Structure 1
Amino acid sequence: MKDFLLRKLGNALDASLPFESRQNSQLIQRNLFFQYQEMLSRGAVLPCFRDTGFRVYSQTDEDGLLLYLFALIGFTNRVVLDIAAGLPSGGNTTNLITNWGCHALLVEGSAQLVAEAGVFYQRHADTWLSPPRLRQAWVTAENINQLITEEGFSGEIDLFSLDVDGVDYWLWESLDAVLPRVVMVEYQDLFYPDESVTVPYRPDFDRFSVHPDYFGASLSAFVKLARRKGYRLVGCNRYGFNAFFVRNDLAGSFLPEVSVQSCLTHPKVLAARDAKRAELLELPWEVV
């Protein structure tokens, strides 16, 4: 049943498709969502987290992974926060906003990308009546909480997505305006599991002024930070660069913690590590 549903999803993904196709996508996703919940309720063996991924709008298979997580832990207020949201195509939260009715704050540094995202959501049949909040801003450890509260967001939310390609570690460390149930972060996959490092903090950090691959933090660093904040690593995306954390008070028995090593095994990760690691190690990294 799951394989059939995922094949059907491939035919109904984009807002530009006819209304019937978009509705078909929503129905298929809901069938899959309730199938997961039914399996959980009767104590059936649940699928492996990594096998539940698929792409609707996300860059790789993050949409399916998030759908699986929320099927198991449930939605609460359906509020999501996306820092460095980029364009809706390739976005981590677009599917939740358009197909699951989530209310979102999307923060992006590029004014052009914010304008293009605004047009997308204003024209989309499922968001034009109540589009997400869009905020153009350069996010720093000093202003992240103020930016969020100024837009009317605070307290518990369902999802926090972070993909700045910069000082991501320091932004999550500083975040306290909201309490996410699920956190998704992009990590630097060129480091080994025992290396806990991040780029040093600068509010004006720009990776392109140093090296295009000089950004972020190792997965081990994020795992340490997550544990301090009360979260556990439950998996990663298909290619091993986006990590998913669930708050420790949620679904511990059926969303167990996984190792850092398990998220660093894809051939893409191994090939990039061999090709780029030596060059990047010459740049300054801070041990955390």
Structure 2
Amino acid sequence: MKKIFKYYFLIFKVRERLSPSVQIGQRQLYLHYRELLKRNELPCISETGFRVFSQFEEDGLLLYIFSIIGMEKKVFIEIGADDGINSNCANLYFHFGWHGLFVDGNPESVRRGVRFYKKYPHPWLYQPSFVCSKVTRENINEIIEKNGIKGEVGLLSIDIDGNDYWIWDSIEVVSPQVVIIETHNEFGLENIVVPYDPNYSYPGKHPIYHGASPVAMNKLANKKGYRLVGANELGFNFIFVRNDLVPHELPEVAVESLLNHPSAKAAYAKFEDIKDWEYLEG
């Protein structure tokens, strides 16, 4: 019954998020940030979060960042998108005219997403692409290229509860302006990565034995030419901006400054159970 409701009646759950007032309010906020940018009066990024379609307050953080960078590259790629509705990219699609690619390995989620985007909010909108596939280091570039995306894009979002680190490390066909990616604050300030496993499926051997620590993910970002600018309040969805973009307006922040929420500290206690398992240095 729950699956049927999700498939046929999801619009009733999210229709308020699609309202003109939501779009108008956000566009006004975008222009307000642009004006504050001219006056050198920008708020701290940690004060700008809110949720429309994202799981936590990532929608607000991303709106703030793209208010500073600009929205000339309105293309997104979301890996681990589920149905593309509870998403880091849906808000940009529905309210700012972005387009792009949703990738997920769950056929049911993808079917639900395809149906929804074909019908709402307007069936004549340019539709995002959906791909149902298990994502690996070996196929990720092909998946992106086959869907007509290459070069510079606005946003790359990765959240697959597994090989997130290795997927980002392998992506070569696009150069995102902004990357939002899940880290594992259960690993605290350790510099560790769980070894790559192309056959991994959550929860694997242990629910928290996957992914990379915040420190290791930050090192990967630096290697790829990105700097850490913020995270969601709980401190596990890190946001990176490419180094050539607005370095003064979006300064680099330290990893440890984003791990102060009580939940982040509580999460690290779980590491004790798996601290002696196999890890690679980030």
The two structures share one fold, judged by TM-score above 0.5:
yes
Counterpart of 1:149 in structure 2 is 145
2: CA distance, partners of 1:89 / 1:200: 31
The Cα of 1:71 is off from its aligned counterpart by 0.1
The Cα of 1:287 is off from its aligned counterpart by 1.4
Counterpart of 1:253 in structure 2 is 248
User: Does residue 139 in structure 1 map to residue 135 in structure 2?
Assistant: yes
2: CA distance, partners of 1:232 / 1:175: 17
Counterpart of 1:17 in structure 2 is 16
Report if the CA contact (8 A) 1:88-1:120 is conserved.
no
Counterpart of 2:274 in structure 1 is 280
Instruction: Name structure 2 gaps, 5 residues minimum.
Output: 1-11
Q: Helix, strand or coil for the counterpart of 1:157?
A: strand
Counterpart of 1:30 in structure 2 is 27
Letter of the 2:40 counterpart: G
1:130-155: CA deviations, max 9, x gaps?
21000001110011101110111100
Q: Helix, strand or coil for the counterpart of 2:78?
A: strand
Q: Residues 128 and 217 of structure 1: is their aligned pair in 2 closer, same or farther, counting only changes over 3 Å?
A: farther
Counterpart of 1:50 in structure 2 is 46
Q: Residues 115 and 76 of structure 1: is their aligned pair in 2 closer, same or farther, counting only changes over 3 Å?
A: same
2: CA distance, partners of 1:140 / 1:178: 16
Give the TM-score normalised by structure 2.
Answer: 0.92
The Cα of 1:127 is off from its aligned counterpart by 6.0
1: CA distance, partners of 2:217 / 2:16: 38
Q: Residues 211 and 244 of structure 1: is their aligned pair in 2 closer, same or farther, counting only changes over 3 Å?
A: same
2: CA distance, partners of 1:212 / 1:192: 16
Relative to structure 2, which stretch is displaced further, 196-205 or 60-69? 196-205
Equivalence map 1:1-288=2 (5 Å):
15-17=14-16, 22-44=19-41, 46-126=42-122, 128-193=124-189, 195-274=190-269, 276-288=270-282
Counterpart of 2:9 in structure 1 is none
2: CA distance, partners of 1:108 / 1:262: 31
1:82-139: CA deviations, max 9, x gaps?
0010133421111111111111100000110000111221121256532100000111
Q: Residues 186 and 99 of structure 1: is their aligned pair in 2 closer, same or farther, counting only changes over 3 Å?
A: same
Report if the CA contact (8 A) 1:187-1:241 is conserved.
yes
Which aligned runs of 4 or more in structure 1 are off by greater than 4 angstroms? none
Instruction: Name structure 1 gaps, 5 residues minimum.
Output: 1-12
Give the TM-score normalised by structure 1.
Answer: 0.90
Q: Residues 253 and 114 of structure 1: is their aligned pair in 2 closer, same or farther, counting only changes over 3 Å?
A: same
The Cα of 1:262 is off from its aligned counterpart by 0.7
The Cα of 1:27 is off from its aligned counterpart by 0.4
Report if the CA contact (8 A) 1:14-1:57 is conserved.
no
Q: What percent of counterpart residues are identical?
A: 42
- Number of positions where the alignment pairs a residue of Structure 1 with one of Structure 2: 271
Report if the CA contact (8 A) 2:229-2:253 is conserved.
yes
Report if the CA contact (8 A) 1:97-1:103 is conserved.
yes
Q: Helix, strand or coil for the counterpart of 1:85?
A: coil
1:204-263: CA deviations, max 9, x gaps?
122323112222101111111111111000011011110000000101011000001011
Report if the CA contact (8 A) 2:184-2:213 is conserved.
yes
Q: Helix, strand or coil for the counterpart of 1:207?
A: coil
1: CA distance, partners of 2:201 / 2:132: 17
Q: Residues 112 and 285 of structure 1: is their aligned pair in 2 closer, same or farther, counting only changes over 3 Å?
A: same
